[in-house]
């Protein structure tokens, strides 16, 4: 059972993309199991840089199956944009599989994310405002819309109508911002559904079958241990579980099948957004680390906070 997993041991941005890219070249299956387009890996192939947010890194190589697992939250517009950019560079996404159980990010998630962060003032946590947290909240609250729902027009219409009604009350009455439009969302997302349909399948079966068949399966972690919802620097964390156990839950594979877990450490520390950072450098040395290490968010472009290596964290 040749499985491998790459996770971050700090606050993310440790250079996981380089390690994942190296291992992806040797893998037969590459699996994203948690997070959404709030995470990004920059991978360079043939002198071309690819900023991957939802697509697994194996997508840049031929002959590999690339899986977006059930633990991922998917923004269809972002994913289709990534696929289009990939194809412009002469690459193909035909090897992609998307879990029918993955949850869908909708425009009201982004709006709620923005409004909630704004309302917190000095207590804001530094979210990317990509709707990740609100989408996971709907998942836990059991009102989320999954990819399988998006694939069924009647089911999607019914669930979307309920959610838009509730979310618009929150947007207008609680946060005092404009509501979202049901008809616009319905039209856009039914269009996305048709474009994504060829990729949708039961990826839990795909991954378990690959592992049991002795295939080389790589689980590609996003974010990092200190951003784990349960085990990180709460509340300044992400909305999923970027630790090794999260890969098991988010892909449908039992933990007994996870071997060769690789934790990536950077020689100094960085984090994006608010939250405790004991070794932070707010001086010229910190600026030097940021500029020399190109420490700016792959997704947001935000300058990362920098500091000395914190071995206690590692």
Read off the pLDDT of residues 151-163 as tens digits, 9 standing for 90 and up: 999 999 999 999 9
In-domain check, residue 313: no
Contacts of 95 (CB under 8 A, 6+ apart): 58, 59, 63, 64, 65, 66
Please state, rounded to an integer, the average pLDDT across all residues of the chain.
93
CATH number at 8 reads 3.40.440.10
Q: Are 240 and 229 in contact (CB under 8 A)?
A: yes
Instruction: Find the mean pLDDT for residues 18-38.
Output: 92
The range of the structural domain enclosing residue 293 comes to 268-308
The pairing of beta strand 268-271 with beta strand 305-308: antiparallel
In-domain check, residue 314: no
Cα separations in angstroms, 4 against 7, 145, 219: 10, 31, 6
Instruction: Find the mean pLDDT for residues 123-130.
Output: 82
The pairing of beta strand 65-68 with beta strand 29-32: parallel
Whole-prediction pTM: 0.93
Q: Assess whether 241 carries a catalytic annotation.
A: no
pLDDT attached to residue 217: 97
**265, pLDDT greater than 90:** yes
Same domain, 249 and 117: no
Same domain, 68 and 211: yes
Q: Which of 21, 41, 103, 241 is catalytic?
A: 41
Same domain, 97 and 107: no
Read off the pLDDT of residues 189-212 as tens digits, 9 standing for 90 and up: 999 999 999 999 999 999 999 999
Phi, psi for residue 284 in degrees, rounded to 5:
-65, -30
**1, pLDDT greater than 50:** no
CATH number at 127 reads 1.10.300.10
Read off the pLDDT of residues 46-103 as tens digits, 9 standing for 90 and up: 777 777 899 998 998 889 999 999 999 999 999 999 999 999 988 899 999 999 999 9
Read off the pLDDT of residues 293-314 as tens digits, 9 standing for 90 and up: 999 877 778 899 999 999 999 9
Number of Cβ atoms within 10 Å of the Cβ of 188: 15
Q: Which of 13, 21, 138, 149 is catalytic?
A: 13
Q: Assess whether 231 carries a catalytic annotation.
A: no
Same domain, 140 and 186: yes
Same domain, 24 and 76: yes
Beta pairing partners, 96:
66
């Amino acid at each position: 059972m040749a499985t491998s997993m790459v996770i971050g041991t700090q606050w993310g941005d440790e250079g996981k993309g380089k390690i994942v890219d190296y291992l992806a070249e040797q893998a037969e299956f590459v699996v994203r199991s948690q997070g959404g387009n709030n995470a990004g890996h920059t991978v360079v192939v043939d002198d071309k840089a690819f900023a991957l947010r939802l697509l697994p890194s194996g997508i840049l190589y031929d002959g590999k199956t690339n899986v977006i697992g059930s633990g991922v939250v998917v923004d269809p517009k972002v994913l289709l944009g990534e696929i289009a950019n990939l194809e412009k560079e002469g690459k193909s996404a035909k090897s992609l599989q998307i879990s029918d159980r993955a949850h869908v990010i909708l425009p009201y998630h982004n709006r709620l994310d923005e409004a909630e962060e704004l309302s917190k003032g000095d207590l804001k946590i530094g979210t990317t405002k990509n709707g990740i947290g609100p989408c996971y909240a709907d998942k836990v609250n059991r009102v989320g819309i999954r990819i399988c729902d998006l694939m069924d027009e009647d089911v999607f219409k019914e669930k979307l109508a309920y959610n838009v009604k509730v979310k618009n009350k929150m947007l207008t009455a609680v946060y005092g911002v404009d509501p979202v439009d049901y008809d616009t969302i319905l039209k856009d997302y039914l269009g996305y559904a048709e474009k994504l349909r060829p990729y949708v399948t039961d990826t839990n079966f795909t991954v378990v079958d690959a592992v049991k068949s002795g295939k080389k399966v790589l689980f590609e972690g996003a974010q990092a241990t200190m951003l784990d919802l349960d085990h990180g620097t709460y509340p300044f964390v992400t909305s999923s579980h970027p630790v090794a156990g999260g890969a098991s839950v988010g892909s449908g594979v039992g933990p007994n099948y996870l071997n060769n877990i690789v934790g990536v450490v950077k020689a100094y520390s960085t984090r994006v957004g608010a939250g405790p950072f004991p070794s932070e450098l707010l001086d010229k040395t910190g600026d030097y680390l940021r500029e020399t290490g190109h420490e700016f968010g792959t997704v947001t472009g935000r300058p990362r906070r920098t500091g000395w290596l914190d071995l206690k964290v590692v």
